[in-house]
Amino acid sequence: MKIKKAIIPAAGLGTRVLPASKAMPKEMLPIVDKPAIQYIVEEAVNAGITDILIITNRGKGIIEDHFDHSIELEAMLERRGNTEMLETLNKVANLANIYFIRQKETKGLGDAVLRAKKFVGDEPFAVLYGDDVIVGEIPAIGELCEAYEKYGKSVVGIKEVPDELVVKYCSLKTERIDDKNFAVSDMIEKPSLDKKFSNYSILGRCVLDSEIFSILERTPLGVGGELQLTDAMRELAVKYGMIGVDFSGIRYDMGNKFGMLRANIEVGLNHPEIKEELKNYLKELVKTL
């Protein structure tokens, strides 16, 4: 079955990037000249997804504005004959059918996903975390959708991470199928090191069966008193097995300060407008370090 719907949870408080995220949603922090969430929407669209629900909360209205027309700006660009930028802005406003819903209380990623129950219905759907940007030749969520079509099971995007990150993310019980696919039979959210299954963690992407909603509805609050998506996905993994896809792109965590900086430098080094200037600047800078 082709995956046509995606949800982007973007209702977190972003405390790790304060004060930048005090009034500005962290999902709107730029990587060179585009906000993080635009990269994520484009990834979904490039994977053939047509309908996207973004889960926001109070104070994140500018995410809606970003994917709408900006009438004054467009009129001004037209008057000045800047057709290139006019086209760029038009494209942003017409990327996909984008819908919005609010998570009224910040009760965890699982609770945010539960807000999408009506939008999703009984189809499998993609989840792209609003602060995880993945840059690569092919859309990471497309690699997961392919795995869903091939194996008919829910899929998570995974990477091997060091111990200091496993304890902050989650740990998966995995068995390798081929060079990029793994069978996942169990998982644990934010484990202590003696409880970890492996160093494989879920990083920002999944494709889930709609059964996840009924599981979430009866999943008790987990780590941090929040409804954890991992706790509900664990039930799918134990009951049916899941697939882990070691996706090929590079993932940038826009929810932490170093991740933001790294994304800007690495994407900047490939950006046609600034790459030469940035490269020369960095070469001079490293001499002084």
Q: Are 124 and 207 in contact (CB under 8 A)?
A: yes
Check residue 259 for interaction with ligand UTP (CB under 6 A): no
**Tokens 């899929």 identify what position?**
155
Size of the site for ligand UTP (CB under 6 A): 20
Residue 141 backbone dihedrals phi, psi, to 5 degrees = -65, -25
- Closest-by-Cβ residue to ligand UTP is 12
158 sits near ligand UTP (criterion: CB under 6 A): no
Least distance in angstroms from the C-beta of 261 to ligand UTP:
16
* Residues in Cβ contact with 151 at an 8 Å cutoff, skipping those fewer than 6 apart: 181, 243
Taking CB under 6 A as the rule, does residue 55 contact ligand UTP? yes
- What would the two tokens of residue 12 be? 């977190």
Q: Which of 107, 190, 262, 275 binds ligand UTP (CB under 6 A)?
A: 107
Nearer CB in complex with ligand UTP: 55/145:
55
By beta-carbon proximity to ligand UTP, the closer residue of 108 and 139 is 108
Q: How far is CA 136 from CA 33, 40, 43, 210, in A?
A: 17, 12, 9, 28
Does the footprint of ligand UTP cover residue 131 (CB under 6 A)?
yes
Residue 70 sits in the site that holds ligand UTP (CB under 6 A) = no
- Binding segment for ligand UTP among 3-11, 28-36, 46-54, 232-240 (CB under 6 A)? 3-11
Helix axes 257-268, 275-287, angle to 10 degrees: 120
User: Is there a contact between 111 and 224 (Cβ–Cβ < 8 Å)?
Assistant: no
Q: Do residues 41 and 64 touch, judged by C-beta distance below 8 A?
A: no
Q: Which is nearer to ligand UTP, 139 or 259 (CB)?
A: 259
Q: Residues 217 to 256: which contact ligand UTP by CB under 6 A?
A: 255
Residues 134-155 as b/e (b if ≥16 CB within 10 A, e otherwise) read bbeeebbbbbbbbbbeebebbb
What is the nearest approach in angstroms of ligand UTP to the Cβ of residue 206? 12
Least CB distance from residue 227 to ligand UTP, whole Å?
A: 8
**109 or 172: CB nearest ligand UTP:** 109
Identified binder of ligand UTP from the candidate list 70, 106, 185, 199, rule CB under 6 A: 106
State the Cα angle at 13 between 37 and 119, rounded to 5°.
55
Q: How far is the CB of 195 from ligand UTP (least distance, A)?
A: 19
Which residue shows structure tokens 């494209």? 91
Residues at the site binding ligand UTP, with contacts judged by CB under 6 A: 9-16, 55, 103, 106-109, 111-112, 129-131, 255
